[in-house]
Amino acid sequence: MTDHKDDKQKTPSKMSFKEQILAELEKANQIRKEKEEELHQQGLREDELRQKEIEVQKATQRTAELYHEYQKEAESQTVKDSESLTIGETQPQIVPLSANHLVAEAIEVSEIESTESFSENNSLEEDSGSESYAVYSESETSPLEKQTTSDRSNTNQTDFSESQEESLEKSDENFKEDESDLSKTIPFTPLMANDLDPTGLTTESQATILSNDDIVHYNHSENDKETLTEKQNETSTDEGGLVKKRAKRQHVNRLANKISLMIIAGILALMLLVAVIGTTYVYSAVNPIDKTDKKYVQVEIPVGSGNKLIGQILEEKGLIKNSTVFNFYTKFKNYGNFQSGYYNLQKSMSMGEIAKSLQIGGTAEPTKPVLGKVLIPEGYSIRQMAKAMEDNVNTKSTKDKSPFSSETFLKVISDDVFIKEMVKKYPRLLSSIPKKSDAIYQLEGYLFPATYNYYKGSSEKEMIDQMLATTDATMANYYDQIENDGKTVNEVLTLASLVEKEGSTDEDRRDIASVFYNRLNNGMALQSNIAILYAMGKLGDKTSLAEDASIDTTIKSPYNIYTNTGLMPGPVDSPGVSAIEATVKPANTDYLYFVANVKTGEVYYAKTYEQHSANVEKYVNSQIQ
């Protein structure tokens, strides 16, 4: 016989047989509880938990049915083998068999629950397969049961019933001693699936279960009752716990949603606040630093300076609030091509005004800060200029006056000493001015129409000097041609003052200058109302068409060019570049007459008086009411 020494090592020696049974059952219950707890933690619904209970009950019932079948077959087998079996020989073998059977049954229930917890769609046939597998495992891991089955052929059922309690009491004492004998006498034969009968157990196992009827029945029924009661209590407890957990989870989710909404709302509010603050800051940075500060600040812009560097210079001088805003603003507004040089800027200037000034260009050398500006329009007479000198056009307010007065201006312009000084200073321009006895103002027409800056301490003399210098610079382009044509500067400016008032376009002015030259060459009077109005002191005043048509052409004045042929003593207003250019370079025509449509401004020319009279009747007299 084969000596199975390993079997002895595998048998527990420190625990009694009864303690082993209870430990195995406790372990099975513990496994089942862990599985149930795992299922509950996974959030199984109530109906799924109840289904698991029903399946456990079915498995228990099915075990009981198998047990009864085992009992019937064991009874028939026991009758045949009763003569060869003694009670003493079976007692030490029954207890191990019962223990192994209980362990197998516990494993069977545990396997069923484990299979169902991970395979919810399995059918009842798969449960039966799990049971068969559990029995097969039991047969493989219980060599004691195989040996007990072979020896049980001599067991007497009647004597076993009477001695059952005694066997259980003696099992603990005899288990260790019998274990070594069983190891020596019982060969280990593994069971295969085809060794099982339809009930799922071998014939020998059935007989063993029959021998332990009372023990198995008692332990199994009590176990099932306790298990079901515990499961029901745990199920109800778990259901309540799940409800509480779900309610708590919902509360936490609602709280989290509220917090999320509050955070999002806070972020949006912060973004809106930043946008408002940023817009307000940019708007304030673009506007003037101080609208009431009229003081000038001198700034030097180096050659090759970019927008960023210029912005830094302006910020250091206190002219703008932020250089970065200036950089982006000038790029956004497409301001560029800034010129180098010295600039006199004010804190009352906006960022756009400063940018435009930088595009115009500065001076090569530092200059005095500009306090204001005066504007002299084209065609203004000296009397009109005197009034214009009082207004500072550097601001939009009409109440902002310059430091000049019209009385002082007229006094200086008529001062002989001052005029002589200017003639010496600008000889080519003023050498041909009319005599004081012939002209109302000797310098009439010589003050160039333009916009002039004035500075701290500027006087009327300095302003007149600046105007004469501008005219001299303009006429420098025509001095040679005027001399070549045999004319004087005074003659050119005198005729140009008429052309300035009579024409409105460059082409008309060249044609009108041609008419005047043709009349002068033919010894005809120029017959312009402009000179008569100047002589009357009304030039520049608003007159109606009727008043202009009924003007007195018989007044005695050197400026009456209706009665006097040739030119007036001097200009009657300050002509602009266009009128001067047309006078120096007139058109080549045969016209002797012209008249303008008072409504459209269109000029009509004629070579004969008859044609001219028809034009006057059509475009002037017919318009008089």
Residue 513's identity, in one-letter code, is A
pLDDT band at residue 575 under the 50/70/90 scheme: very high
437, two tokens? 């006895």
Task: Give all domains of the chain, ordered by start, each with its CATH number.
Answer: 5-237 (no CATH), 287-367 (3.30.1490.480), 371-476 (no CATH), 488-623 (no CATH)
DSSP assignment of 544-576:
-HHHHHT-------TT-TTTS-S--SS-SS---
| Cα dihedral across residues 41, 45, 46, 47: positive or negative | negative
- 3-state SS, 81-110, equals HHHHCCHHHHHHHHHHHHHHHHHHHHHHHH
Average pLDDT value for the chain = 77
Low-confidence winner among 160-164, 260-264, 449-453, 570-574 (lowest mean pLDDT): 160-164
Q: How far apart are CA 72 and CA 206, in angstroms?
A: 9
Among residues 482, 527, 477, which one has the least CA distance to residue 502?
A: 527
Query: Tens of pLDDT along 402-459?
Result: 999 999 999 999 999 999 999 999 999 999 999 999 999 999 999 999 999 998 889 9
End-to-end CA distance of the chain: 156
State mean pLDDT over 48-70.
Answer: 78
Residue 600's identity, in one-letter code, is T
pLDDT band at residue 225 under the 50/70/90 scheme: low
305, two tokens? 């300076």
Residue 491 scores a pLDDT above 90: yes
SS3 content of the chain, % helix, strand, coil (to 5): 65, 5, 30
Residue 328 scores a pLDDT above 80: yes
Residue 134 scores a pLDDT above 90: no
Backbone angles phi, psi at 452, to 5 degrees: -125, 135
pLDDT band at residue 179 under the 50/70/90 scheme: very low
338, two tokens? 């800034």
* pLDDT at residue 375, rounded to an integer: 94
3-state secondary structure of 203: helix
- Collect all residues with Cβ–Cβ distance below 8 Å to 184 and sequence separation of at least 6: 1, 3, 4
Low-confidence winner among 73-82, 151-160, 337-346, 490-499 (lowest mean pLDDT): 151-160
Pick 43 or 379 by higher pLDDT.
Answer: 379
Low-confidence winner among 5-14, 44-53, 191-200, 592-601 (lowest mean pLDDT): 191-200
DSSP assignment of 571-622:
-SS---HHHHHHHHS-------EEEE-TTT--EEEESSHHHHHHHHHHHTGG
* pLDDT at residue 224, rounded to an integer: 55
Residue 528 contacts residue 605 (beta carbons within 8 Å): no
Q: How far apart are CA 74 and CA 208, in angstroms?
A: 8
Residue 312 scores a pLDDT above 90: yes
Percent above pLDDT 90 for the chain: 39
Q: How far apart are CA 247 and CA 227, in angstroms?
A: 30
User: Strand 451-455 vs strand 593-596: parallel, antiparallel, or unpaired?
Assistant: unpaired
Low-confidence winner among 192-201, 279-288, 308-317, 475-484 (lowest mean pLDDT): 192-201
Residue 560 scores a pLDDT above 90: yes
pLDDT band at residue 108 under the 50/70/90 scheme: low
* pLDDT at residue 144, rounded to an integer: 37
* pLDDT at residue 316, rounded to an integer: 93
User: Strand 603-606 vs strand 593-596: parallel, antiparallel, or unpaired?
Assistant: antiparallel
pLDDT band at residue 231 under the 50/70/90 scheme: low
Residue 463 contacts residue 404 (beta carbons within 8 Å): yes
* pLDDT at residue 42, rounded to an integer: 66
Low-confidence winner among 77-86, 167-176, 218-227 (lowest mean pLDDT): 167-176
pLDDT band at residue 488 under the 50/70/90 scheme: very high
Residue 259 scores a pLDDT above 60: yes
Among residues 529, 502, 528, which one has the least CA distance to residue 586?
A: 502
- State the maximum Cα–Cα separation within the chain, in Å, rounded to a whole number: 180
Q: How far apart are CA 153 and CA 83, in angstroms?
A: 9
- Using alpha carbons only, what angle is made at residue 115 by residues 113 and 118, rounded to the nearest 5 degrees? 105
* pLDDT at residue 236, rounded to an integer: 63
pTM score over 0.75: no
